[in-house]
Amino acid sequence: MSNLCIEPINVINPAINGVPDSEKYLESHSIYPLIFLNPNQQTVLAQLAASKRVIGFLVRAKNGFFEDLEGLQKKKPEDAGLVAIVPKSSPSSNENFKNAFDVIIYYDISNSVFRELQSTEDAVYPDLRAVVDEIMKIVPRGKVQLIHTDELCMTEVGRLRERHGLMGAYPHDLDRLCCKNQLAQLAKKAGVAIPKTVFLDFTHSDSLENLLEKVQREIGSFPMFAKLNRMCGCRGIAKIVNQENLENWLTERLSDDVPMPYVLQEFIEAVEFGVVVLLLSDGTWKPLIVHLFHGTTFRNAFLNGDPLIMGATTLEDAVKEQFPNLDKFTQQVIDAFQPVQPQVFFIQGFQLTPKTDQYVLIELNYRPCGDRGNAALYDTCGINVYTALALAHIDPHYSPVPDSKWKPRIATMVCYAFKKGILRSHNESVLKANVNSQTEWEWSKIPGDHLPKPLMMLDSLVRIMLYSKNKEERDADLEWIQLHWRPDVIKDST
């Protein structure tokens, strides 16, 4: 856990007739002038600081406003405030979601980079930092819960927590979960099964011969799997199939303009799964869903253009049907890594033999899953993930329960990454004619567009949601899709 530096809360100006004297509050804190917060935002923050027990700040770096906040406005405690800090280019299709917040603060991300990154540690948001610095001139730090909600802002928010002595995960807490070399070390120490792993830091000079010897000593057999040490979305991954391939890959890394740390691991062929849980402030956790990939993997989808299938089931059903003792494996991982609570926690692994508890840990994520990972979450468990994340931070008694209006549905997303070439058509009719599930489509490109090779899994060409009447219908449709359907991409002769 991080060392928490929480100052005593001294509300200088209590509420007058239920409304804080925000003008005097601001003057007493001597915060003028502020550049990033406008006068209305300053006033609202001062009112919240004077009247609320805690204020949750939901921080987002992805474009687009939160779209999963059902019930948040109704369930928010009266003694808690809620603020959204989002990019300026974050429109919402549901204005009711905006009403859940006492104030929304927009910041500029145009001077930030992500696609150029090879490590999420290098994600920097200068305007976000300035906004939080100004907030901390108004709100006592003991009342602030700074909540990261996506991969893009996680590291920067961790730095800001540490900068201001706030509650929550600091950079070193994130490193042990997100740096693959530290993950491997901690897992091995705790007795959690992992693939054979070797850490290669190309930022420090070494010879090709020494690197080859190190890899052969630690892993010793092909194929191998290469990953950037701290990156997401499959960026930088490679399958290494033989000695020549390994030598070429190492030579390329040694000559990179910007050398980076990598890990090499033994390449495991097995059933991939993911467990999503909500870590609660009292140290307990509640399961949300188990991701079912139906024989697909992130790496094959990215490297080979295969479909990535993301369905879901509950942890209770997973333990009964396909993944015995998965609840115990989940607890073992949480005990081993001690993630700072609360937050959403994602455990990614392989099941070596179907319907056994032979599990191998692959990666961890410490934030809500992205659009693909959340696609079937509400339909499966009846819980809105961002509502749950916010309430876990501002309500000490919160425990997630299914929404009263929820009706379970068998929902599955099928996703295809970019494939270099030209998109000839939106060939939906062929698939629709051969599956029985209801389908919803989202294309990122139009016919005639030239497609590059994918840089990361975010480079998604098409996402298809399937809603099935039963598991048999789902399984039959997914089998047909895997065997017979791909986006209509032709070679680019230019």
Question: How large a percentage of the chain has pLDDT more than 70?
Answer: 91
- In the chain, the N- to C-terminal Cα span, in Å, equals 54
Instruction: Give the three-class secondary structure for 282.
Output: coil
More confident residue, 201 or 299: 201
Per DSSP, the residues of 160-222 read HHHHHT-SS--HHHHHHHH-HHHHHHHHHHHT-----EEEEETTS---HHHHHHHHHHHT-SS
Residues 6+ apart with CB under 8 A from 297: 272, 308
What pLDDT does residue 429 have?
97
Give residue for tokens 């007739």.
Answer: 17
Domains of the chain: 22-168 (3.40.50), 196-266 (3.30.1490.20), 268-402 (3.30.470.20), 409-493 (3.90.1170.30)
Q: How far is residue 227's CA from residue 439's CA, in Å, rounded to a whole number?
A: 34
Please give the average per-residue pLDDT across 150-170, as a whole number: 95
Beta bridge partners of 272: 350
- Whether pLDDT at 132 is above 60: yes
Question: How large a percentage of the chain has pLDDT more than 90?
Answer: 76
Please give the average per-residue pLDDT across 179-206, as a whole number: 96
Q: Please say whether the beta carbons of 84 and 60 come within 8 A.
A: yes
**Six-digit token pair at 14?**
């209590």
What pLDDT does residue 110 have?
84
- Whether pLDDT at 180 is above 80: yes
What pLDDT does residue 375 have?
86
Residues 6+ apart with CB under 8 A from 265: 195, 196, 197, 198, 219, 224, 225, 227
Note the pTM of the prediction, 2 decimals: 0.90
Instruction: Give the three-class secondary structure for 36.
Output: coil
What pLDDT does residue 393 have?
98
- Whether pLDDT at 46 is above 70: yes
- Whether pLDDT at 26 is above 70: no
pLDDT tens readout for residues 271-293: 999 999 999 999 999 999 999 99
Q: How confident is the model at residue 92 (pLDDT cuts 50, 70, 90)?
A: low
- Whether pLDDT at 31 is above 60: no
Residues 6+ apart with CB under 8 A from 217: none
What pLDDT does residue 477 have?
98
pLDDT tens readout for residues 367-384: 998 877 788 999 999 999
More confident residue, 109 or 493: 109
More confident residue, 372 or 460: 460
15-16/80-87 β-pairing: unpaired
Nearest to 415 by CA among 370, 381, 476: 370
Please give the average per-residue pLDDT across 429-445, as a whole number: 97
Average pLDDT of the chain, as a whole number:
90
Per DSSP, the residues of 116-166 read T-S-GGG---HHHHHHHHHHTTTS-GGGEEEEE-SHHHHHHHHHHHHHHT-
More confident residue, 167 or 112: 167
Q: How confident is the model at residue 172 (pLDDT cuts 50, 70, 90)?
A: very high
120 C-beta neighbours (distance < 10 Å), count: 22
Please give the average per-residue pLDDT across 181-187, as a whole number: 97
| Lowest-confidence pick of 183-192, 224-233, 411-420 | 224-233
Q: How confident is the model at residue 114 (pLDDT cuts 50, 70, 90)?
A: low
Within 13 A of 134's CA, how many CA atoms are on the CB side? 20
What pLDDT does residue 329 have?
99
Instruction: Give the three-class secondary structure for 3.
Output: coil
What pLDDT does residue 10 have?
29
